[in-house]
Amino acid sequence: MKNDRGAKRCRSNDFGNLEKRKTSDFCPVGETTTLLGQIFSTSLPNAGCHKDLPSNDLIDVQQDDIASLEDCMNWCAPWGGGGIVYGVAFDFSSSPGTCYCKGQGVLNNTTYVANASVHSALTVNVNPNPYLQCPYQNASTQVATDGSKYEIYCNQDMPEVDDMCPVTSPTYNVSANSLCPTHADSLQDCMNQCTAAHGLCLAVVYLPSMFSGYGNCYYKNNVSTGSFDPKNSIDPPVHMAILDQDNVWDVDSSCINGTNYTSPNGAIFEISCNTNDNTPFGTDIMSFYSKNMSACADACATYTNSSGYDCVGVVFDSSLTDGYQNCYLKSIFGVVAPMSGHQWALLAQRAQNTSTNSSSEGAHSPFSNPAPSLSSSSKTWVAGPVIGAVIGVAMIAGLFFWLRRHRQLSQSNKFTSDMASLPYLKERPYGQPEVGPFEMEQEKHIPEMHTERSLQEMDPDQIRQELGGNPVLGEVPEQYEGDSM
């Protein structure tokens, strides 16, 4: 890594694709965190709103898309003109304004210079004495948080290999010269960021002293052993970590277009080979390393909705061109497009054992059988009273006949007991349950009616008059009237 890289970036007027805007005199109060994570504060005795920081300039820049003090902070933090930026000052007296990136000497200023056209801020989270030594043994193998392996190269740089700017970099959209280093607190942190970068990061260069700025972790998408540059003791320390090639290419790229894959839990995916989708990177639920499509799809099939999104499919990058974390769980799909080395899998059927709808097809539930329709339900409840009325009429006829033959009996309680023992009072309509609402009404009303008044005291006309208004047994048909029995 070249020592003048930071200065070269600062001289560039190409600051990405930010929309040009009018210079602002707005001054943020308190702490402001930049895109890279460096924190500046305007609430200090020797810096703040309408306070200038004279001298100690690393570089100054004037361009349309640095239109406020906050823009100035974000611009200075990553590269700063060849050194760590400890302070910034923004002069908004003209348009565009002028941004000044300040070196470490600005911390020694005990006073400020009042200036109505300048706002300033000092950093509050930079360690002035970082650990500079290589944290691992040279040529050792270290493991990132996701299990990817890196080989360590202490005190070496690879300056002839271009740096890359992954879409995962916080300064991707505001990069200068397509360079966007990130900040890392250690070589291990830098490795972790590389393995999570998109596209594929094959190596990182780590600058513990931040001699080129707060952005001290640089990504590489290529490796050239012939360009290794060993550093001596008088050079600023630089350490490298290179992704183990055994990790990178251990991927199954086999794919049969138009087939279905069924996960162990029953979820079904429709597979399309050499296909990707065009949804933005930010719409992915998550990404991680996977050796094959089936493991990638299984993760989607078993994904729990902790993020507030449902997994509707996956994109599996067997070429790893998009990054080492090559399995992408999707919350939405856009328009699919051809792309070599990518496999697209749409979730066509969810796992049956993950359904939460008790009435859905295949779900085990006491309510899984469809409710009877209104017409069938009406027929059931109409048939009950009709059959009951017929049986009731038959019982009335039997009672009437028995009464005519046994008028000499005088004890109504014995009559009631004998009636309860008659077999046809225990019979039920064919196909009805053993105990039903109609039978309960039948057994309830008949004893109550006969215990209130002895049937032997009633002549046939009285019986007909009493039974004629009974809402359960109904009217007595005409053929049973009189003394025809």
Mean pLDDT of the chain: 74
pLDDT number for residue 223: 94
In 3D, which of 73, 85, 86, 95 has the Cα closest to residue 27?
73
Which of the two residues, 442 and 31, has the higher pLDDT score?
A: 31
pLDDT bin (cut points 50, 70, 90) of residue 412 is very low
Mean pLDDT of 470-479: 40
pLDDT bin (cut points 50, 70, 90) of residue 455 is very low
Rounded distance between C-alpha atoms, residue 184 and residue 320, angstroms: 24
Q: Are strands 149-153 and 268-277 parallel, antiparallel or unpaired?
A: unpaired
User: Looking at domain 141-247, what is its CATH homologous superfamily?
Assistant: Hepatocyte Growth Factor (3.50.4.10)
What are the residue boundaries of the structural domains of the chain, listed by start?
Answer: 5-123, 141-247, 260-353, 381-480
pLDDT number for residue 479: 42
**Residue found by looking up tokens 């397509």 in the block:** 178
pLDDT number for residue 177: 62
Which of the two residues, 414 and 260, has the higher pLDDT score?
A: 260
Which of the two residues, 174 and 484, has the higher pLDDT score?
A: 174
Which of the two residues, 402 and 252, has the higher pLDDT score?
A: 252
Rounded distance between C-alpha atoms, residue 145 and residue 247, angstroms: 14
Single-letter code of the amino acid located at 227:
S
* Tokens representing residue 170 in the block: 């916080």
pLDDT number for residue 384: 40
Mean pLDDT of 293-319: 89
pLDDT number for residue 21: 63
Q: DSSP code of 407?
A: T
Mean pLDDT of 54-63: 89
Q: Is the pLDDT of residue 484 over 70?
A: no
C-alpha torsion angle, residues 151, 154, 158, 159 (rounded to 10)? 150
Ranking 8-22, 80-94, 228-242, 307-321 by mean pLDDT, the lowest is: 8-22
Which of the two residues, 362 and 482, has the higher pLDDT score?
A: 482
Mean pLDDT of 350-364: 43
- Written as one string, the DSSP assignment of 44-91 is BTTBSEEEE--S-EEEEE--TT--SHHHHHHHHTTTTTTS---EEEEE
Q: What are the φ/ψ torsions at residue 205 (nearest 5 degrees)?
A: -115, 125
Determine contact, residues 189/237, Cβ cutoff 8 Å. no
pLDDT number for residue 86: 93
Angle of helix 374-405 relative to helix 437-452, nearest 10 degrees?
30
Which residues does residue 206 pair with via DSSP β-bridges, in sequence order?
A: 217, 239
Share of the chain above pLDDT 90, in %: 43
Mean pLDDT of 368-388: 32
Rounded distance between C-alpha atoms, residue 183 and residue 187, angstroms: 10
- CATH for 260-353? 3.50.4.10
- Written as one string, the DSSP assignment of 345-389 is EEEEE--GGG---TTSTT---TT-SPPPPHHHHHHHHHHHHHHHH
Determine contact, residues 147/81, Cβ cutoff 8 Å. no
Which of the two residues, 308 and 167, has the higher pLDDT score?
A: 167
Mean pLDDT of 415-430: 36
pLDDT number for residue 8: 37
pLDDT number for residue 410: 41
Ranking 61-70, 171-180, 220-229 by mean pLDDT, the lowest is: 171-180
Pick the most confident of 285-289, 314-318, 351-355, 445-449.
Answer: 314-318
Q: Is the pLDDT of residue 448 over 70?
A: no
Given CA atoms 196, 199, 204, 206 in this order, what sign does their dihedral have?
A: negative
Q: Is the pLDDT of residue 76 over 60?
A: yes
Q: Is the pLDDT of residue 342 over 50?
A: yes
In 3D, which of 329, 78, 286 has the Cα closest to residue 196?
286
Mean pLDDT of 204-230: 92
| Structure confidence by residue, pLDDT tens digits, 152-195 | 999 999 998 999 998 888 888 776 666 788 999 999 999 999 99
pLDDT bin (cut points 50, 70, 90) of residue 297 is very high
157 membership: H or E segment, kind and range: strand 156-157
pLDDT bin (cut points 50, 70, 90) of residue 271 is very high
**Rounded to whole angstroms, what are the CA distances from 111 to 47, 54, 467?**
8, 10, 112
Contact residues for 348 (Cβ-Cβ < 8 A; gap 6+):
260, 268, 269, 270
Which of the two residues, 15 and 362, has the higher pLDDT score?
A: 15
Write down the pTM of the prediction.
Answer: 0.65
Q: How many C-beta atoms surround the C-beta of residue 306 within 10 A?
A: 7
pLDDT bin (cut points 50, 70, 90) of residue 207 is very high
In 3D, which of 242, 324, 334 has the Cα closest to residue 287?
324
Say how many Å lie between the first and final Cα of the chain, rounded: 121
3-class SS at 340?
strand
Mean pLDDT of 355-365: 29
Rounded distance between C-alpha atoms, residue 344 and residue 297, angstroms: 10
pLDDT number for residue 461: 52
Q: Is the pLDDT of residue 31 over 70?
A: yes
